[in-house]
Amino acid sequence: MKNRTLVKNLAALPDGPVTVSGWVETVRDQKKVQFVILRDESGAVQLVNPATRELDENADAGASARLAMTEAISALTHGSFISVTGDLKHDERVKLGGIEVKIGALEVVAEANPETPIAADSSLDKRMDWRFLDLRHPKQNLIFRIQTTFLHALRTYWVEHDFVEIQTPKLMASASESRAELFEVGYFEGTAYLAQSPQFFKQMAQPAGFGKVFEVGPAFRADPSFTSRHATEFTSIDAEMSWVESHEDVMKMHEELLVAGLTAVKAKHGAEIAELFDIELEVPTLPFPRIPLREAKQIVADRGYVIPRDDADIDPEGERQISAHVREAFGHDFVFLTDWDISLRPFYHMRHPEDATLTNSYDLIYNGVEISTGAQREHRIDVLVAQAREKGLDPEELEFYLDFFRYGVPPHGGFGMGLARVMMLMLNEHSIRETTYLFRGPTRLLP
């Protein structure tokens, strides 16, 4: 809107005429004065109007206009979008920012229904039904401003380190890793699959000579889980780079990337995070602790928790326990769990040079939850084919992928990381539903 001033910019202006636009958060309709809290995408400001409740027989046009304004403000409904022109005044007695705007003219741009469908105590599912209203809350608004800052910092790091941004297709002719957890979609006379990750395509960039690549894009998992950290569609943060000597090179890039992101978030939003989330955001020190998985499982057992599985994996409680240990021992919120058993990793992870039962791979745990898997990839075609067969995969179904390795590929590695999980753990939220713009799960396709 022409001449519109964002609320966050009002404090720097001198007293005088301004135009502000946003939605009505509250109306305090007192006998002699009316207050309206107007909120826009940047903050909230108090509007004030001296009330005129009735006219006497000698009332002039000005008095009639003031009565009309009073009645218009009394009729305002929560959530209505309005535009107000008036006089800005700095007054330290005003609790909301030390400024207010005396209303001169008011336009109701879009009136809201008087009964709002959600309240502060509404359930999470109810709030998700009315997500566009839920997102008006300052805390929810801040999440996505933080996310913007975080992603910008990641991109800045990558670009400054000569990474190339790519956009990989999400429709695939065959499974990206296995047929488990895949969505099938009709594709003309055949069938396509929604990509679980850009894994194969970001690896394709290595024989293409790109050297280092990254992508931030959607991924899909036909996973019927209803946990606080799973979704059927999510935003994946991926990177892959050539000429790694081991997964250690990938971890070094990964931890530097996260420090860059958290540093930017703390610098720009630290005070707001403290106010709205009651968190003093910490930027982690480098390097992050590294613990081999077998050692981590022993540490967890020594803490009194036995992982109830027959395989070599670690469960969510085990992740929480190892994080608690790392916090106590190192004062750190992150830990790399390294050297995973081959039974737990896909066929394309490189085997450990000193122990063929282990892989050059890791999971990254943040505040007790896994946020990422990374690894050095196997780049030798004969080894790849053999490892695919070991996993029960038919190499003929992987021909398009295996072709990448028949014309020379440098040693390479990378990671995939869930954006919503990172945001959830950064802000100490309880579900990725809070940190996903529009969540998709087994029972949710709306709004």
- For residues 77-99, b (16+ Cβ closer than 10 Å) or e, as one string? eebbbbbbbbebeeeeeeeebeb
**Contact present, 286 and 333 (Cβ < 8 Å):** no
Is 303 marked within a binding site?
no
Is 112 marked within a binding site?
no
Burial class (CB in 10 A: 0-12, 13-18, 19+), 237: buried
Whether the link from the prior residue into 198 is cis, omega within 30° of 0, is no
Give the SS3 label for residue 4: strand
Is 26 marked within a binding site?
no
CA atoms within 13 A on the CB side of 361: 25
Burial class (CB in 10 A: 0-12, 13-18, 19+), 439: buried
| 159: enclosing H helix or E strand | helix 138-160
Is 177 marked within a binding site?
yes
What is d(CA 367, CA 137) in angstroms, rounded to the nearest whole number? 26
- What contacts 18, CB < 8 A, 6 or more positions away? 5, 10, 85, 86, 87, 88, 101
Is 420 marked within a binding site?
yes
Sign of torsion, CA 100 102 105 110?
A: positive
Tokens representing residue 93 in the block: 């007695």
Is 408 marked within a binding site?
no
Is 370 marked within a binding site?
yes
Bridging pattern class, strands 233-242 and 184-187: unpaired
CA atoms within 13 A on the CB side of 351: 15
Q: Looking at the chain, which residues constitute the CATH 3.30.930.10 domain(s)?
A: 129-426
Q: How many residues does the chain have?
A: 447
pLDDT at 174: 76
Is 329 marked within a binding site?
no
pLDDT at 23: 98
Tell me which residues of the chain have a pLDDT lower than 70.
1-2, 57, 175-180, 310-311
376-to-110, 295, 335 alpha-carbon distances in Å: 55, 21, 18
What is d(CA 433, CA 425) in angstroms, rounded to the nearest whole number? 12
What is d(CA 421, CA 441) in angstroms, rounded to the nearest whole number? 15
Tokens representing residue 119 in the block: 């309240």
53-to-85, 279, 356 alpha-carbon distances in Å: 21, 46, 85
CA angle in degrees (0–180, nearest 5) for 398-348-228: 100
Q: Looking at the chain, which residues constitute the CATH 2.40.50.140 domain(s)?
A: 7-110
pLDDT at 299: 97
Q: Which CATH architecture has domain 7-110?
A: Beta Barrel (2.40)
pLDDT at 61: 73
Burial class (CB in 10 A: 0-12, 13-18, 19+), 119: exposed
First and final C-alpha spacing in the chain: 28
| 48: enclosing H helix or E strand | strand 43-50
Is 421 marked within a binding site?
yes
pLDDT at 121: 93
| 384: enclosing H helix or E strand | helix 381-390
**Contact present, 153 and 261 (Cβ < 8 Å):** yes
Q: What is the domain class of 129-426 according to CATH? A: alpha beta
**Contact present, 241 and 278 (Cβ < 8 Å):** no
